[in-house]
Structure 1
Amino acid sequence: MPMPRRTFLHLAAGAALMPATSTFARAAGYPSRPVRLIVGFAPGGGNDLVARLMAQRLSEKLGQQFVVENKPGAGTNIAAELVLHSAPDGYTLLLAGIPNAVNATLYHKLNFNFLRDTTPIVGILSIPNVMMVNPKFPAKTLQEFIAYAKASPGKVNMASPGVGSGGHLSGEMFKYLADVNLTHVPFRGNGPALVALLGGQVDVLFPPISAAEKYIKAGTLRALGVTSAKRAPALPDVPAIGEVVKGYDMVAWYGFVAPKGTPAEVVASINKESNAALTDSVIKARIATFGGTIMGGTPAEFETFIANETAKWAKVVTAAHMSAD
Structure 2
Amino acid sequence: MPEGHSIHRIARQFARHFENAPVAVSSPQGRFAAGAAQLDGHEIVDAFAVGKQMFLQFDHQLLLRVHLGLYGAWDFAGDITVDATTFSANGRMGQTNQRGTDLAGYEDSPWSMGAPRRARLRMSEQEKLEAPVDGDWPPEPVGQVRVRLLTPTAVADLRGPTVCEVDTPEQAQAQIDKLGPDPQVGDPVANEERFVAGVRKRNVAIALLLMDQAVVSGIGNVYRAELLFRARQNPFTPGRELPEEVVRALWHDWVHLMSIGVETGQMLTMDDLSPEDLARAMASRDDRHWVYHRTGLPCRVCGTPIAMQELGGRKLYWCPVDQA
TM-score scaled by length of structure 2: 0.23
Q: Name which one, 1 or 2, has greater alpha-carbon Rg.
A: 1
More helix by share: 1
TM-score (structure 1 length as normaliser): 0.23
